[in-house]
Amino acid sequence: MKTLRLLFAPISLLCAFAVGLTCPWLNVYRAAVPYLVMGMLFLVFLQLNWNQLRIRASVFAIVAANVAIPLTFYFIFSALNQPVLAVGAFMAGIAPTGSAAPSVISFLKQNIEYGVTAFVMTTFSVAVAIPLILPHLLPEAADKGFLELFLPIAQRVGFLIFIPVALSLIVRGIVPSSKNKFPKAYRMISFLLWVCCITIMLSVGSNTIVNELNASQRWLVPLCFAAALCVCVTNFTVGFFLSKEFPHESSQTLGQKNIAVTVAVALEFCDPMVSIVPLLYILCHNSWNSWQMIRLSLKEERANRE
């Protein structure tokens, strides 16, 4: 039973992968994704101890890399005349640190304060960066003015990020004890929302591939996976070298993404194929997370037996 408890998180993620990829009909619940994201952000900010924030130079480096890496891949794929991969790689890379990253960092016995700080700073910086940058990258940018694209994108991103932050501050102001009243329940609810979000988003990708793409478009799917994998490996690798003091935490916070934010934006404003790249990024970074969790769980189990 103890082993099963240790492996609960990675097993849940693997089940989410399997269900999402094999049940494209769950795509009908795609409208729930933004609200699941908002629910996760609300619970994270509700519990957030602002005194935990520790501003370090390496966190600013993560924020800069979180913009520079996706732009680099955008220009690389644009130079290769692959506009879908270019925008898709940008949307995968620009996503902020995942709301579950501090929990994963804690599970891996690393510095949770670092993860919380990176989560807050990338979340707010991305909320500004996406509306400012994305309008210049879309094909219709040549025909529409900047404001015509900027305003609806800013509205969508602001809706996803700032409303749950504001609600959490309101609740904390009315009921100060709410931030730490049910910590275990908050973590479990947040994790379940995360699993549901992953399941639905992968089903959206599965439905797009199976039912919305023609034969001439499906050959791009392996390239989308390659692009997602390249962005993911780059993020985790570059992140490791951005901090000498906290290399693992830095790697995790740059590599683990709140992909739901950018998927919600991509599904509304981009070509349907664009969303495939960030959706496949989910497989990449959560596969690495699952492996890290399983490896640590088995290591702890062996240590307890000895």
Q: Going residue by residue through the chain, which has 306 residues, state the pLDDT in tens, using 9 for 90 and above.
A: 445 555 666 677 778 888 888 888 998 888 888 888 888 888 888 877 777 778 888 999 999 999 999 999 999 999 999 998 999 999 999 999 887 777 677 666 677 788 888 888 999 999 999 999 999 998 877 667 778 888 898 988 888 889 998 998 898 888 877 766 666 777 778 888 888 888 888 888 888 888 877 766 777 888 999 999 999 999 999 999 998 888 888 998 999 898 888 988 888 888 878 888 998 898 888 788 777 777 766 676 666 666
Most distant CA atoms of the chain, gap in Å: 67
Report which DSSP code applies to 242. S
Q: Nearest Cα to 196, choosing from 89, 100, 277?
A: 100
Structure tokens at 175: 């009921």
Q: What is the pTM of this model?
A: 0.85
Nearest 5°: phi and psi at 82? -125, 75
Structure tokens at 152: 């609806």
Q: What is the pLDDT of residue 277?
A: 92
Q: What is the pLDDT of residue 297?
A: 66
202 close to 16: Cβ distance less than 8 angstroms: yes
Structure tokens at 209: 């591939």
Q: What is the pLDDT of residue 301?
A: 63
Q: What is the pLDDT of residue 296?
A: 67
Structure tokens at 50: 């602002």
Give me the residue spans of the domains in the chain. 2-305
Q: For the domain made up of 2-305, give the CATH fold.
A: Na+/H+ antiporter like fold (1.20.1530)
Q: What is the pLDDT of residue 221?
A: 84
282 vs 277: CA distance, rounded Å = 9
40 close to 197: Cβ distance less than 8 angstroms: yes
280-289 residues labelled b (16+ CB within 10 A) or e (exposed): bbbbbbbbbb
Structure tokens at 293: 């969790």
